[in-house]
């Protein structure tokens, strides 16, 4: 019987031939070797699959899966994570570069936590350093409260190592939401999470990124998109509330009730008041002065009717 690896690496690919070899080489250069890599390709139309087959032929730690139809970003990662066999799972993007000790450092640091993540430094698509880190954009959270992940997320998927039990508790991943934010919420709700200040990944920025943290490609939102965001926020709060049913969370319950009222009206002062009253928790990740947090809260006050007609 094959020995179970200590760590599973979950990698999803989609038309990633340009940067994939560099990422795979950085994984092969890890200072520990007791790992497997589970790769799920989401119907790539370029040479991504050929690249993967070449690496898999040379290293038995590769396990490849190829979708027969496109699942999309969230569901593809869900599939990859459910195929992982180890107790500890490290999530991997197709276009970054890993520090040689990434797995070693995270494995030593996770201890009794459900999830551990780390800082990352941004690089341009050419590989040049951009002299900015994720920690320059967000405060990082450690602890056992899920509420900081309701409105914001600092735990990027590529930086996460988590226990397999978190995946079991988090699936199915909610559609139309970021899977990494969901994993951070679930992990904090079921135990505790921690972070490492060391940047262990060079996080490549280009137009194909699924998240645009630096807002490099931001475009103005239409009224329809703004309305859709409000409905999505309500659905997200409902999902978060349902996930905490075993230990009822009064704050999330209040937020969800107030959000429903906001979406059915012009505005909800009570929704904004709840956020502002608990801003030290709800807006902890927002690395902005108090005035910016105040305006963030004000923007949350306006309902669907305001977005449609004002």
List of domains in the chain: 7-205 (3.90.550.10), 223-309 (no CATH)
- Number of helices (H), then strands (E), in the chain: 12, 9
Q: Over its length of 310 residues, how does the chain's per-residue pLDDT go in tens digits?
A: 467 899 999 999 999 999 999 999 999 999 999 999 999 999 999 999 999 999 999 999 999 999 999 999 999 999 999 999 999 999 999 999 999 999 999 999 999 999 999 999 999 999 999 999 999 999 999 999 999 999 999 999 999 999 999 999 999 999 889 999 999 999 999 999 999 999 999 999 976 655 656 655 557 888 889 889 999 999 999 999 999 977 789 999 999 999 999 999 999 999 999 999 999 999 999 999 999 999 999 999 999 888 777 6
User: CA-based angle 130:151:307, to the nearest 5?
Assistant: 105
Burial of 310 (0-12, 13-18, 19+ CB in 10 A): exposed
- Tokens encoding 255: 């937020």
| Residue 266 CB coordination number (10 Å) | 15
Report strand pairing: 35-41 vs 88-92.
unpaired
Task: Give which of 86, 122, 126, 123 is closest to 107, Cα–Cα.
Answer: 86
Alpha helix (H) residue ranges in the chain = 20-28, 48-58, 73-82, 102-110, 164-170, 179-190, 223-243, 250-263, 269-277, 279-282, 290-301, 304-309
């Amino acid at each position: 019987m094959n020995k179970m690896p200590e760590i599973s690496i979950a990698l999803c690919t989609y038309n990633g031939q340009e940067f994939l070899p560099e990422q795979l080489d950085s994984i092969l250069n890890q200072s520990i070797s007791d790992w497997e890599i589970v790769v799920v390709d989401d119907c790539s139309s370029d040479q991504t699959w050929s690249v993967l087959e070449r690496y898999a032929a040379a290293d038995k730690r590769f396990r490849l899966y190829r979708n027969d139809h496109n699942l999309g970003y969230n569901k593809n990662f869900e599939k990859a994570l459910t195929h992982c066999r180890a107790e500890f799972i490290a999530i991997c993007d197709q276009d970054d570069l890993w520090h040689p000790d990434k797995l070693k450092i995270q494995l030593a640091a996770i201890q009794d936590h459900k999830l551990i993540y780390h800082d990352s430094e941004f690089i341009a698509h050419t590989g040049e350093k951009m002299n900015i880190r994720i920690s320059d954009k967000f405060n990082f959270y450690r602890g056992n409260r899920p509420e900081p992940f309701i409105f914001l997320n600092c735990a990027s998927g590529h930086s996460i190592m988590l226990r397999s039990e978190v995946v079991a508790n988090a699936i199915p991943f909610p559609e139309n939401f970021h899977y990494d934010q969901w994993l951070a919420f679930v992990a904090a709700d079921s135990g505790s999470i921690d972070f490492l200040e060391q940047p262990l990944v060079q996080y490549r920025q280009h137009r194909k990124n699924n998240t645009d943290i630096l807002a490099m490609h931001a475009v103005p939102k239409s009224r329809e998109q703004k309305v859709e965001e409000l409905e999505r926020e309500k659905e997200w709060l409902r999902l978060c509330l349902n996930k905490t049913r075993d230990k009822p969370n009064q704050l999330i319950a209040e937020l969800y009730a107030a959000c429903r009222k906001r979406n059915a009206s012009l505005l909800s002062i009570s929704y904004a008041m709840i956020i502002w009253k608990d801003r030290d928790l709800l807006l902890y990740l927002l690395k902005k002065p108090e005035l910016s947090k105040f305006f963030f809260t004000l923007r949350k006050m306006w309902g669907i009717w305001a977005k449609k007609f004002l």
